[in-house]
Chain A
Amino acid sequence: MNPVYALSEDQRDCLQEIVNVAMGQAGDSLARYLETFIQLSVPKIRLVESSELVPELQKMSEGAEFISAVRQGFFTAKGNAQIRGEAIVVFGDESFHELADLLAYDGELSTQDQTELLLEVANILSSACLIGLAEQMDVELGFSPPSVIGQNITIHRVVNADRLNWSRALFVEIKYTLEQRSFNCSLLLMMPGEAIDAVTATLDLLLAD
């Protein structure tokens, strides 16, 4: 029997609120770190079926034919909730020089440098949001190192649609842009299956307060 993962109205509102607060904080700390104003869109939260993953990714990349993507795993390090998920950062185009500048890289960028940049940016964007969320939900998170899914690949190559072993996942989508610099990317936080239950359980605790 397939369990049905769902969010009630109250849980959804609660989640939207804490995600908004977490994003605000993330934007602040990122701005301080990068020493430039960074814009985060209002996060979009929804439950997605595995069959909708690729169309969702396509919408996210706004029809860009070639993208670069980085993935990173996260999990709870303590507490009862078993929250496991993945963060994917999709870069519409690689404004390397902009990024290099912000992250203290000097001179010519080798291929290794470019990959390292992608990984670094993905890591700080993902973890800033996740840490903010974790604090709001009073859980402690652990992270796995980020890895490149692909550079200049088509959106279809981001996930192997045949190999998805979950039916439904919780999606949080945030778009990032930098003021005065031509840089933009999207962050997708995904928690499949049982993690949804863990999240709703945590939300219930918060709602009870």
Chain B
Amino acid sequence: MNQTQSPELLQFIVDRIDVGLFIVDTNMNVMLWNRFMEINSQIKSEQILGKNLFSTFPDLPQKWLEKKIKSVFLLKGFSFVSWEQRAYIFKFPHNRPITGGVEYMYQNLVLMPVKDANGHVDKVCIALHDVTDVGFYQTELQRAMHELEALSRVDGLTRLNNRHYWEERLSEEFSRVKRYGGSLSLIMFDLDKFKHVNDTYGHLGGDLILKKVAALVKQSLRQSDVAGRYGGEEFGIILPGTDKDGALVVAEKLRLLIENERTDYEDKTIRFTISGGIVELAETHLRHEELISHADQALYFSKTHGRNQFTCYPLPVSEHH
């Protein structure tokens, strides 16, 4: 037979532990309120015992929290609240009054069923953990990681998506449309006579032009379009939910913007144009690489038929000169 724990010892632990502990019954009346809760809420247990939790704390998200507590009564399982989805439930002060960084104590809650002699859940015990430090550092870490991720997705010079990431996105979008339907178009374009630009104005001049193109591309995109630097001077634009005609509108807008752009470099003014190809996802496309290939074919057609233009795949039938 087990020795029962001394009630005084248990009482001491419940009271002094560095965790908030409180119990509610099926009417949401408070049956236990330990010292941690008293200190942080500034409400003594005498004031709250027997009273409704939500009338004492009108700021609590009542509808949602009551539903959650009910789940413990009905399903007899644990329930959890994480600071990552809700920073805090109770507006308690945190332990960083000087170093700061957060508004209120970050909290994790664990809701536990308390059974009576018949195995029926008649109370819910809630443990409230102060996770402000964890929260603070994790938020900083996540911020640093996002920056790092952005760096590895982004092309250094143009700040557009790099080829690897952009192609990943194309592949995903391709799969999605193949499975769930919808439309998808692809624009591939590059700078006309870019070698000439580099030779005339040097690589710095060339870089400036590339940055200009990227900026103008960003201007021409709609919310869901995804642009990337595909090669040295080649770019790609993924247009979800867009057909050939829609893509052509976007492409033409960009082409005109670029044609009219004047870039000052040292004491000269640089003008340049782009040529490109457009393809719309069809039943016959089995892999996203095929889309790129067809768009490239159309791009090549534009190059060999005067430049500064966009061509749609399938290619127009050759005219006889």
Binding site for B on A (CB under 8 A): 29-30, 32-33, 65-66, 103-106, 112-113, 115-116, 119-120, 123-124, 127-128, 130-131, 142-143, 145-146
Contacts and interface: CB of A to CB of B under 8 A. Distances in A.
B70 interface: yes
B80 interface: yes
B117 interface: no
Interface in B74-89: 74-80, 82, 84-86
Given A123-B80, A145-B110, A33 B70 contact: yes
A32 B77 CA distance: 14
Contacts of A123: 77-80
A100 B68 CA distance: 13
Contacts of B66: 104
B179 interface: yes
Contacts of B110: 145
B280 to A, nearest CB: 22
A70 to B, nearest CB: 11
8 contacts: A29-B76, A33-B70, A104-B63, A106-B63, A123-B79, A131-B75, A145-B108, A146-B80
A112 B179 CA distance: 27
Chain A CB within 10 Å, residue with most, of B68, B70, B76, B85: B85
Sorted nearest first, the 10 A-B pairs with minimum C-beta distance are A127-B77, A116-B85, A145-B80, A104-B67, A143-B78, A33-B74, A112-B85, A128-B75, A104-B63, A131-B77
A163 to B, nearest CB: 21
B75 A127 contact: yes
B71 interface: yes
Contacts of A113: 85
B85 A130 contact: no
B173 to A, nearest CB: 12
Contacts of A32: 74
A112 B86 contact: yes
Report which residue of B63, B66, B82 has the largest number of chain A beta carbons within 10 angstroms of its beta carbon: B82
Interface residues of A, dominant DSSP: helix
B181 to A, nearest CB: 14
Interface of B: 63-64, 66-68, 70-71, 74-80, 82, 84-86, 108, 110, 175-176, 179
Given A65-B179, A104-B64, 17 more contacts: A29-B75, A33-B70, A33-B71, A33-B74, A33-B75, A65-B176, A66-B176, A103-B64, A120-B68, A123-B77, A123-B79, A127-B75, A131-B75, A142-B78, A143-B77, A145-B110, A146-B80
Nearest to A72: B80
B180 to A, nearest CB: 9
B83 to A, nearest CB: 11
Given A112-B85, A116-B86, A119-B82, A124 B75 contact: yes
Contacts of B63: 104, 106
Contacts of A112: 84-86
B67 A131 contact: no
Contacts of B67: 103-104
Contacts of B85: 112-113, 115-116, 119
Contacts of B75: 29-30, 33, 124, 127-128, 131
A86 B84 CA distance: 21
Contacts of B77: 123-124, 127-128, 130-131, 143
Contacts of A104: 63-64, 66-67
A116 B84 CA distance: 9
Nearest to B62: A104
Nearest to A147: B82
A31 B68 CA distance: 15
A88 to B, nearest CB: 16
Contacts of A127: 75, 77-78
Contacts of A142: 78
A135 to B, nearest CB: 8
Nearest to B65: A104
A160 B262 CA distance: 52
A79 to B, nearest CB: 13
B74 to A, nearest CB: 5
A103 B70 CA distance: 11
A115 B86 CA distance: 11
B120 to A, nearest CB: 12
Nearest to A111: B85
A145 B79 CA distance: 8
Contacts of A115: 84-85
Given A112-B85, A128-B77, A146-B80, A105 B64 contact: yes
Contacts of A105: 64
Contacts of A116: 82, 85-86
A131 B76 CA distance: 7
Nearest to B82: A145
Contacts of B80: 119, 123, 145-146
